[in-house]
Structure 1
Amino acid sequence: MSTPESMTSPTLVTRYGAPKRRPDRRGRRLTIVLGLVLAIVATGIVALVLNRPTLTPKDLGFSVHGPSSITVDFDVAVPSGMRGRCAIQALDERFTVVGYTEVDVADTDAAPGTAHRVGLRTTSLAVSGGVDRCWSLP
């Protein structure tokens, strides 16, 4: 059976390293408090991100006017007091983006959703067009 003195002999320390010290009570308390603070901060950040209102776009249709232009119709629901921007794109038959623009949108008192018609210039014949995504502006 080994004794604590034998665990710190110079031969064993050289071969395996010195035995590790356990943190004292103060160190453990500090680690627990820091962990709780970090957990509370992370929960607050997640709650803010998940509860943020979002813009909800809906494609209504598109009209191809030839190899150089397309018109895209879409509707977007913007929460009250919020401004946003939507990315509109036109795609060719290989799903390559051939036209792109961004449109600012804002809430209106008239209706929950606002219809928009946007003309895009294209680099080749588009076969579809619509909203890629919308995001809020500060």
Structure 2
Amino acid sequence: MTSRDQPASPATTSLANRYGGQKRSLSGRTKRIILIAALAAGIAFMAWVSTSNATSSVTFKDIGYSTPDGTLAEVDFEVTKDPAVAAKCAVKALDSKFAVVGWKVLDIGPNSVDTGKDGGRTTVHRVQVRTESPAVSAVVDNCWLPDKQQ
């Protein structure tokens, strides 16, 4: 008795059995929805970045410093902010090894539009910082808008 050989199954069928069927591609509608969602997320992110920087910005610029004696440093600087809001600036005095020898936080209140320049946005300030040893430099470390107390 002889048996007839079974016809060989095509390679694609055996590969599909082993590895699974062919993957379906995304439909045009699904691709469109993904593209619209990505664009909406990008626009929302750009809006958030542009509004967060515009609403809470305080900048400062060191003008100069002096050290009248071994226990005092004076710092002159400009602050640019919205005239209607208050700000705080941290000023530090440094010794020859860049160690902090004096530190002070200055409160800068709201000001009128005719104070300073640029419509009241930029004002000049001078602060005296007591030092524990002679300072060779004094700078503004940072300025920020304080959180509103309720």
* Structure-2-length-normalised TM-score: 0.67
- Asked which structure has the greater CA Rg, the reply is 2
> Which of 73, 86, 90 is residue 87 of structure 1 equivalent to?
90
> Which of 107, 117, 120 is residue 126 of structure 2 equivalent to?
117
> Which of 77, 81, 86 is residue 78 of structure 1 equivalent to?
81
1:135 aligns with 2:107: no
1:3-18 to 2 correspondence within 5 Å?
4-10=12-18, 13=19
- Of Structure 1 and Structure 2, which has the larger fraction of its residues in strand? 1
Cα shift at 1:130: 2.0
Cα shift at 1:39: 1.0
Separation (CA, whole Å) in 1 of partners of 2:54 and 2:127: 30
Counterpart in 1 of 2:52? 49
Deviations 1:104-132 (Å, cap 9, x if unpaired)?
Answer: 21342222343333222323321011212
| Contact residue 78 and residue 106 of structure 1 kept, 8 A | no
Deviations 1:72-114 (Å, cap 9, x if unpaired)?
Answer: 2323233332221212111111222222222121342222343
1:93-108 to 2 correspondence within 5 Å?
93-108=96-111
Cα shift at 1:65: 4.5
Compute the RMSD of aligned alpha carbons.
2.8
- Count residues with an aligned counterpart: 132
Cα shift at 1:66: 4.1
- Structure 2 residue runs of 5 or longer lacking an equivalent are 1-9
| Contact residue 78 and residue 107 of structure 1 kept, 8 A | no
Question: What SS class does the counterpart of residue 75 from structure 2 fall into?
Answer: strand
Separation (CA, whole Å) in 1 of partners of 2:116 and 2:49: 31
Identity %: 32
Deviations 1:2-59 (Å, cap 9, x if unpaired)?
Answer: 764233123xx2xxx7654433445434322321221111111122134346334333
